[in-house]
């Protein structure tokens, strides 16, 4: 998956408007639109701001895969986990630990 596709997916999954995204990382809305349409790619510093904004890695944004990240389910779980609030994350971790004990 390319950068534009990942960005579109993140915006859609989290219900964030392009304009709000642009404001959140301090770029022009037209620049954000160009990123989403795949007409431009961000420079290094902007890429770091995008990763921070979405709480994902730059590797994820760039589509760098490793053996563990190849699994689509794992990627989806990471997206969900990163979108949760702190108390929800703790609850999900507790549930995961219970599931592991049942094995």
Q: How many domains does the chain have?
A: 2
Mean pLDDT of 2-10: 93
47 and 84 inside one domain: no
pLDDT one-digit tens code per residue, 26-84: 999 999 999 999 999 999 999 999 999 998 888 889 888 654 445 667 777 888 888 88
11 and 51 inside one domain: yes
CA distance 4 to 67: 22
Mean of all residue pLDDT scores within the chain: 88
DSSP SS3 for 4: helix
Q: What is the CATH number of the domain that holds 39?
A: 1.10.260.40
Q: Which domain holds residue 19?
A: 1-64
75 and 48 inside one domain: no
60 and 71 inside one domain: no
């Amino acid at each position: 998956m390319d950068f534009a596709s990942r960005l579109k997916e993140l915006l859609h999954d989290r219900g964030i408007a392009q304009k709000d995204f642009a404001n959140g990382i301090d770029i022009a809305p037209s620049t954000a639109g160009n990123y989403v349409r795949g007409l431009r790619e961000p420079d290094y510093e902007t890429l770091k701001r995008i990763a921070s904004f979405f709480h994902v890695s730059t590797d994820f944004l760039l589509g760098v895969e490793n053996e563990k990240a190849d699994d689509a389910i794992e990627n989806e779980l990471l997206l969900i986990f990163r979108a949760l609030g702190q108390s929800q994350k703790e609850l999900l971790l507790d549930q995961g630990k219970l599931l592991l004990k049942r094995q």
